[in-house]
Amino acid sequence: MMTAELGSTISQSQLTLSLFMLGVAGGQVIFGPLSDQFGRLPVIRIGTLTFVACSLLSSLAWNIEYMWLARVAQGAAAASGAVIARALIRDRYEGDRAAQMMALTGASMASIPLIAPTLGAYITVEFGWRFTFVAQSLFALLVYLGLSSFQTGTSSLQNVDKAKLTLSDIATSFKDCLRNPQFLGYQIAGTLSFCGLFIYLSTVSFFLKDVFHVPTEYFGLAFAMTVIGFVIGSLLSSRLVMKWGQDKTLRRGTFVCMGANGLVLLVTLYLPAFTVGFAILSILFFFGIGLISANASMGAISLYPDKAGAASAVYGCVHSLSSATMGAIAGLLYAGRLLEPVSLMLLCSVGALMGSALIHRSRSISQN
């Protein structure tokens, strides 16, 4: 609907999602270090209010170029929630316990995509696509009201570091983190597995219609089925991480993702109309992401307990920037079939497995 009204092409409209993630990448670089300096709560309040404003501005778009700019700004504001949430969990928990809490948080967050696509499809069909952005601003306003009820009674929410923050400090954080082989392994595993998921997100609304002929109003329901896999994976991860540890849980999640995507590719090549098989394997893929996500992020951030906000910003920036890039590539390559996105997803899963191998190798070297 947006494509038609703004006079753009499908690939140009798909690019809005990647540009949103580009904004998320840049925003984390800003909000993460700021929360280390000025405290978590004040910074996330500002970010949430900014998101309210940017969502309303997005609803007023009159051409696709305006929408691109609005979505970048909206993504930058949205980054405040993700980067500070990770830092807050690291402030309060350590090691496998931090990964457990992040997994539980991820499972609760996944309840949103269980509901949001269905609600978004209903709003779009009944009121038009512009009202989806108005709804986003209203939900964000509720989040802000919730944040306003918090008391600044814990150290993680108060001022943390009064030293002057500079671009040099941010650059140093990137250099320190990405030179650490363990951090790099967690970054690769978490980022590439999510890139596979983001390729799915960037193309699902198109291939559900083009390949499986799912009507727009049922898109949310079809998508919610796959998200259930992530919820189950995250909940199970919260238990398994206390038994296996975050590295082993993460590694097994990468095997699940690679196996699921390999089978999806076979189904795509030989049974292209096998809708049930594709749905089951998609749920399995999301399940694997649930095993990986929290363990990768908390494993990386836990390496830098004294600057959790900065470490979260580095992890989140690379994570989002890579996802945006892969989403854009998937949109450009999409040709009305599953072969291209599924092949990219399998490639990302293989890369995530290599990241988990790097974690194991670097940890073995450090112990010796």
Q: Is residue 159 part of a domain?
A: no
Look up residue 164 and give its DSSP letter.
Answer: P
Give the separation between CA 230 and CA 225, rounded to whole angstroms: 10
Residue 286, pLDDT > 90, answer: yes
Q: Is residue 111 part of a domain?
A: yes
Find the angle CA(10)-CA(54)-CA(78) to the nearest 5 degrees: 85
Give the SS3 label for residue 362: helix
Domain with 224, as residue range(s), is 2-148+168-367
pLDDT of residue 184: 95
Give the SS3 label for residue 59: coil
Q: Is residue 163 part of a domain?
A: no
Q: Which of 79-83, 170-174, 237-241 has the lowest mean pLDDT?
A: 170-174
* Chain segment 162-206, per-residue pLDDT in tens: 455 566 777 888 888 889 999 999 999 999 999 998 899 888 878
Give 3-state DSSP helix, strand, coil % of the chain, rounded to 5.
85, 0, 15
Residue 244, pLDDT > 50, answer: yes
Q: Is residue 7 part of a domain?
A: yes
- Tokens representing 151 are 């008391």
136 to each of 32, 56, 131, 183, 278, how far by Cα in Å? 23, 8, 9, 34, 31
Q: Is residue 249 part of a domain?
A: yes
Give the separation between CA 76 and CA 73, rounded to whole angstroms: 5
Here the CATH number for the domain that contains residue 240 is: 1.20.1250.20
* 30 Cβ neighbours under 8 A, 6+ residues apart: 76, 79, 313
pLDDT of residue 159: 45
pLDDT, average across residues 260-275:
87
pLDDT, average across residues 23-35:
86
pLDDT of residue 167: 67
Q: Is residue 161 part of a domain?
A: no
Helix axes 275-301 and 181-210, enclosed angle (nearest 10)? 160
Give the SS3 label for residue 289: helix
Q: Is residue 153 part of a domain?
A: no
pLDDT of residue 131: 92
Q: Whole-prediction pTM value?
A: 0.80
Total domain count, the chain: 1
Give the separation between CA 207 and CA 337, rounded to whole angstroms: 6
pLDDT, average across residues 66-70:
91
Report residue 165: phi and psi, to 5°.
-90, 130
- Tokens representing 318 are 């690379």
Half-sphere exposure of 139 (CA within 13 A, CB side): 13
pLDDT of residue 251: 96
Find the angle CA(24)-CA(30)-CA(36) to the nearest 5 degrees: 120
Residue 113, pLDDT > 80, answer: no
Residue 75, pLDDT > 90, answer: yes
- Per-residue confidence band for 155, with pLDDT thresholds at 50, 70 and 90: very low
pLDDT of residue 154: 45
pLDDT, average across residues 194-221:
82
Q: Is residue 72 part of a domain?
A: yes
pLDDT, average across residues 214-239:
83
- Per-residue confidence band for 296, with pLDDT thresholds at 50, 70 and 90: very high
